[in-house]
Structure 1
Amino acid sequence: MARRQFHERPDFINTLTNAELVDRYRLDRDGILYLHESLKDILDPATNRNNSVSSLHQILITLRYYATGGIQLNDADIHGISQPTVSRCISKVTDALCSPAFIRRHISFPVDQEEVRKVNAGFFGVAGFPHVIDVIDGTHIQIKAPVVEEASYVNRMGYHSINTQVVFDDTDRITDVVARWPGSTHDSRILRESALSTILEGGHVPGPHNYLLGDSGYPCKKWLLTPYLNPPAGSQTEYNKAHKRTRAKVERAIGQFKRRWGILHGEVRLTPEKACRVIMACAVLHNICRDRNIPFENGVPNLNNAPNNVYQGAQNGLQYRNIIAATYF
């Protein structure tokens, strides 16, 4: 029997510059090593039999796949392994990034009073809109047509997707993300059935006057303010101007999120369940990049999302919105 031949695996972490690493893997050397230190106990192979893939190499393979959204066979050739091995590495690293403990370490909604105050001040500096705690929007991540419940994944633009709810703070960090709903699901339902809704409905954010900003696809509530549809001249029009300028941050942040991780910018050729985990993993990595000030091109509006249908249900925040408009604008 012929002996198996193994290709020498390139040492990219030590041979590429920081700029080259960011260009190919979206993280610099220190960022990659941080991931390695955090995840190596989960990822390190139990044995070195059959030229097993180290935890560091598994991380590089997965980051490359997320960054480019490329064909796994190309990633296999680049990193000196087989395509099935690439697939196993991506699954293993994705699961590690999506562990509840690791998600909680990097994605959290502001509930500390001092943290809330800083976020309020950051958003106020955009357009003078007071007491904004975060901005919210939905975005569609395109996936291949699934075998099960195919029709439910067809969104209003006509392609298959995961409708993903994303919340950003004033520094473009993700503070909440929900990636589990088929593309046909309305944004308002995703919010209504989310843990974030429970937090805000329950009054678990310090202060009596903190709220999200969202578009007209969401219900207007005391903790979620939407724009007026046909405002008269005066305070309501000025409210809308400030609302639009402030909420534009979520559209630009989603645009950056998708371009940083190219796997989200095209069609994710995975099952819906695996695609959802990749979205969550990319959200964690987005915040790691933000926390470490890893450079990336400025965000542009989220282009993979048609405007929401206007919400038609009950809205218990309309009078509160009128007070905000009259008081501050």
Structure 2
Amino acid sequence: MESLEEIEAVFAVFDDLDNNILEEIEVPEPRNPKVYFRDVDPFRDYSEDSFKMRFRFSKNIVLNVILPKINDSLQSETQRGLLISPICQLLTALRFYATGSFQIVCGDIMHNSQSTVCYIVRRVSRALASLMQDFIEFPQNLRKTKDSFEKLGCIGRAPGLENIVGAIDCTHIKITKPRGIIHTEQYRNRKGYFSLNLQVVGGPNLMIHDIVVRWAGSTHDSRIFRNSRLNIKLNNNEIDGVLLADGGYPCTRYLLTPISNPSTPQEERYNKVQIKSRNSVERLFGVCKRRFPCLQIGLATKLSTTANIIVACAVLHNIAVEYNDTIEVEDDVVDVIPNNNAQPSNSTRTTGTGDGLVLRANIIARYYTF
């Protein structure tokens, strides 16, 4: 997993050329006294259910869990003018994540100007993204994670897979066409729209254990993994376990993939167990995008801010899972789940290292022959 500074450095060069985007005004407009939460108090005006529907978290989690962790980062460096309190900044950003709407619309709802909302979203997103090292990591007790994955994959007499510490996959976050970049087409994915390809490793309880957000939409999933720190850690045995992946990845001693064309009942049983266990990361994408529709609708911010928003939403998702802060989502929010039977065009689908193929064959022969 990369640090926040490394993620921002990737997009810094592009963003320097992109400062003329109307939505990304660096300094907010002069503030007007009518702009602030003097007449709007979400904690007072909304019931618990209405508050959670609008901000995606309960009042208690916002006040006692999220705010204390970023309160100092949101304090104003000066005392000039009428200041926007940290809690008002946090609620404004949460409202943006929860709607994915134009910033000017979020500003009207929260009684702020568009440029002020832009400034707040950028500031709050960076503050939340700075918590990445604290909230996005592999658990200390991997034994519990392995047992949960083993139970998750059981199908009848077929046991679940052992020694699994996570499921890896990528998802596309839609963005507007980047400006100031010579090779903008590298951000256009195979479905025809501009995106960032986000790599995530998820646990059996939908917790995010690792995230990589720096690659353009046209980059293949296996290339992202091959160049990630996670690959190095697994290869050096720094993480004791194996990841589950789809057919777009090569089969290695620490990456188990399904059989491309199962020809025996044993291989079919293995595939069913592998797919059932791996679906946890796909459900993670669905839950996260439903909680934060901005990730599904798309982001029109500059690249560094977009990366921070994505990481911020990942941090918030883990906080919600850790504190069991569930949410009822609207029926009109569409969840795009990848098709497990889709045939990736990349040739790595049928490849793998000798150790990986031998490991997979041994697992099939030992557990799924009956």
Give the structure-2-normalised TM-score: 0.82
For residues 229-268 of structure 1, the aligned pairs below 5 Å read 229-268=260-299
Deviations 1:146-199 (A, max 9, x none): 121211001111111000001110100000111110001000010011111111
1:144 aligns with 2:183: no
Please report how far the alpha carbon of residue 14 of structure 1 lies from its aligned counterpart in structure 2 after TM superposition: 3.5
C-alpha separation between the residues in 2 aligned to 1:284 and 1:307? 32
Give the equivalent residue in structure 1 for 2:23: none
For residues 62-101 of structure 1, the aligned pairs below 5 Å read 62-99=93-130
Deviations 1:118-140 (A, max 9, x none): 11111111222222111111000
Please report how far the alpha carbon of residue 261 of structure 1 lies from its aligned counterpart in structure 2 after TM superposition: 0.5
Aligned residues: percent identity?
36
1:321 aligns with 2:360: yes
C-alpha separation between the residues in 1 aligned to 2:216 and 2:100? 21
Please report how far the alpha carbon of residue 108 of structure 1 lies from its aligned counterpart in structure 2 after TM superposition: 0.2
For residues 173-212 of structure 1, the aligned pairs below 5 Å read 173-206=207-240, 210-212=241-243
C-alpha separation between the residues in 1 aligned to 2:290 and 2:272? 27
C-alpha separation between the residues in 2 aligned to 1:54 and 1:74? 20
Asked if 2 retains the 8 angstrom alpha-carbon contact of 1:162 and 1:272, the reply is no
Asked if 2 retains the 8 angstrom alpha-carbon contact of 1:219 and 1:311, the reply is no
Give the structure-1-normalised TM-score: 0.91
**What residue identity is the alignment partner of 2:253?**
K
C-alpha separation between the residues in 1 aligned to 2:277 and 2:262? 18
| Greater Cα offset, 257-266 or 38-47 | 38-47
Structure 1 residues 241 and 172, CA gap change in structure 2 (3 angstroms): same
For residues 1-329 of structure 1, the aligned pairs below 5 Å read 5-9=33-37, 10-33=40-63, 34-99=65-130, 102-110=131-139, 112=140, 115-127=141-153, 128-147=160-179, 148=181, 149-206=183-240, 210-297=241-328, 302-303=336-337, 308-312=344-348, 315-316=353-354, 317-329=356-368
Q: How many residues align?
A: 319
Please report how far the alpha carbon of residue 51 of structure 1 lies from its aligned counterpart in structure 2 after TM superposition: 1.2
Deviations 1:193-251 (A, max 9, x none): 11111111110123xxx211100101111111000011122221110110111111111
**What residue identity is the alignment partner of 1:133?**
V
Structure 1 residues 53 and 225, CA gap change in structure 2 (3 angstroms): same
C-alpha separation between the residues in 2 aligned to 1:23 and 1:308? 37
Please report how far the alpha carbon of residue 259 of structure 1 lies from its aligned counterpart in structure 2 after TM superposition: 1.2
Please report how far the alpha carbon of residue 96 of structure 1 lies from its aligned counterpart in structure 2 after TM superposition: 0.6
Structure 1 gaps, min length 5: none
C-alpha separation between the residues in 1 aligned to 2:237 and 2:57? 37
C-alpha separation between the residues in 2 aligned to 1:4 and 1:155? 42
Asked if 2 retains the 8 angstrom alpha-carbon contact of 1:218 and 1:310, the reply is no
Structure 1 residues 94 and 201, CA gap change in structure 2 (3 angstroms): same
Give the equivalent residue in structure 1 for 2:13: none
Asked if 2 retains the 8 angstrom alpha-carbon contact of 1:252 and 1:302, the reply is no
C-alpha separation between the residues in 2 aligned to 1:13 and 1:45? 22
Please report how far the alpha carbon of residue 300 of structure 1 lies from its aligned counterpart in structure 2 after TM superposition: 8.6
